[in-house]
Amino acid sequence: EPACYDVVVIGSGGAGLAAAIQASDRDASVLIVEKMSTIGGNTIKASVGMNAAGTRFQKLKGIDDCKEKFYQESLKGGKGMNNPELLRSFVNNAPEAIEWLADRGIELNDITITGGMSIDRTHRPADRSAVGGFLISGLLRNVNQRDIDVMLDTDVTEILTENGAVSGLRVKNEENEILTIHTKSIVMASGGFSANQEMVVKYRPELKDFVTTNHKGATGSGIALLQSINAGTVDMGEIQIHPTVEQTTSYLISEAIRGGGAILVSQKGERFFNEMETRDKVSAAIIGLPEHYAYIVFDEQVRLNNKAADEYIGKGFVVSADSPRQLADKLGMDMHAFLATLERYNVFVEKQHDEDFGRQTALRHPIHEGPFYAIRIAPGVHHTMGGVTVNTNTEVLDVNKQVIPGAFAAGEVVGGIHGGNRIGGNAVADIIIFGTMAGRNAAYHAQRS
Ligand code: ADP
């Protein structure tokens, strides 16, 4: 007897868990299918936070923000390529998504900033830890409180349709058995394809041999599954490389470190770019250096402000020193150049004006409180902005822009929202905003048909 659910969610990252919880809260019976043996997808690695403009938590901190600014800055960061309707819906629904989480005990009430934004609007946990682990454990707690079934080590291999509408799935479980599941609504929340070298290189040959920050499951199989029922795709060649990736471990060094006041320094001991520019531009600047890498440099004040810094120190790739001199020495850098760089940057902080590179945000405090730290970084493949086409109701559109009944999608598997470059903090916002919307609409569809 085949299993039967109102809604089946494919993928257990942020988008999938949010969709499952919301569908369950609308009285749907829900199954989550995850091909890996753990919950959390790539979301569990998310570092900096969740962007939203005009939230209660911003108001509590006296931060005056508006949706239009958030929209315009995301559009500019995306090189103007973002789908305007999706981006508008994203911006409009962001504060509600912050409250949706808070209502479920997942409060993101501390706020920082990311590259390309002019205002502190990146919401993160009160203890300033990385957002991913906090988010996934909170969502999982909510999944467990509800009657939501989860199948791990189970790969969706086929989407079944009847008269063009979704009618079920075929999955392969951990025993390699092929099972059929009946459902009228699926939510594809299978993430991006950054970990699929072949697929990345197909669209962007120059990214061959780049490391990736992503978990192994980011293979893009959800895109192929939806394409097999005629879904359209958009922006497939738009692949983001993140500027600050530790290369021996592929560990992403959070933008919160720069947002907390860190700078980037070349092997010559010099700053070379506005650290708070968007990811595409900062990455290009690092690749443009003769050595193709740089150091992210910060002091004790930055460390105290970011829990992730201690995690990096624990990983063993942070060079620390009691003085800037000693740090330069350990990095094999020209000491005079490095000292002059710090001194000059500290004057810019004092004046709140970066004469050299026009950094306008996160000139938080002078870098002068020991110990001093450096991490050697270079870019790595981080986010695939392209994916399947959807409308503003998270319904998957076919190659002719027609709705495929019963197919919903949310999260990194979807293309168009982030245009040519995703802003840091906009992926977590994306998965919660559109994950909850997909869950709600999928439940409604199942109950109506
Ligand atoms: P998002 O940020 O959009 O939520 P994530 O990368 O966090 O995306 O999560 C996507 C999840 O989907 C991952 O855990 C991944 O292993 C899972 N997944 C991808 N393809 C399949 C598939 N064919 N069947 C089941 N699970 C899948």
pLDDT (tens digit per residue) in 108-161: 999 999 999 999 999 999 999 999 999 999 999 999 999 899 999 999 999 999
C-alpha span between 78 and 383 (Å, rounded): 13
Residues with CB under 6 A from ligand 1: 10-16, 33-36, 41-43, 155-156, 189-191, 217-218, 221-222, 411-412, 431
Residue 312 confidence (pLDDT) above 80: yes
Give the atom of ligand 1 at the shortest distance from the alpha carbon of 44. 7
Ligand 1 centroid to Cα of residue 125, in Å, is 24
Q: Which pair of tokens denotes residue 25?
A: 């809260």
Which atom, in ligand 1's list, is nearest to the CA of 155? 24
- From 22, 35, 38, give the residue whose CB has the most ligand 1 atoms within 8 Å, as the site to mutate: 35
Q: How far is the CA of 250 from the centre of ligand 1 (A)?
A: 20
Selected catalytic residue, list 26, 279, 376, 422: 279
| Domains of the chain, start order | 3-193+385-448 (3.50.50.60), 242-381 (3.90.700.10)
* CA 13 to centroid of ligand 1, rounded, Å: 6
- Nearest to residue 327, comparing CAs of 285, 282, 295, 304? 295
pLDDT over threshold 90, residue 315: yes
Name which residue sits closest to atom 19 of ligand 1, judged by CA: 190
Question: Who's near 274: CB < 8 A, 6+ residues apart?
Answer: 281, 282, 354, 357, 358, 359
Residue 377, both tokens: 């970084």
pLDDT confidence tier of residue 449, bands split at 50, 70 and 90 = confident
Please tell me the residue having the least CA distance from ligand 1 atom 14.
41
Ligand 1 mean position to 204 CA, how many Å?
22
Give the DSSP H/E element, type plus range, for residue 124.
Answer: strand 122-124
Q: Is 88 a catalytic residue?
A: no
The DSSP code sequence of 354-393 is -TTT---S---S-S-SSSEEEEEEEEEEEEE--EE-B-TT
Q: Which atom of ligand 1 is nearest to the CA of 413?
A: 3
Q: Tens of pLDDT along 384-442?
A: 999 999 999 999 999 999 999 999 999 999 999 999 999 999 999 999 999 999 999 99
Percent of the chain predicted with pLDDT > 70: 100
Answer whether residue 1 shows pLDDT above 70.
Answer: no
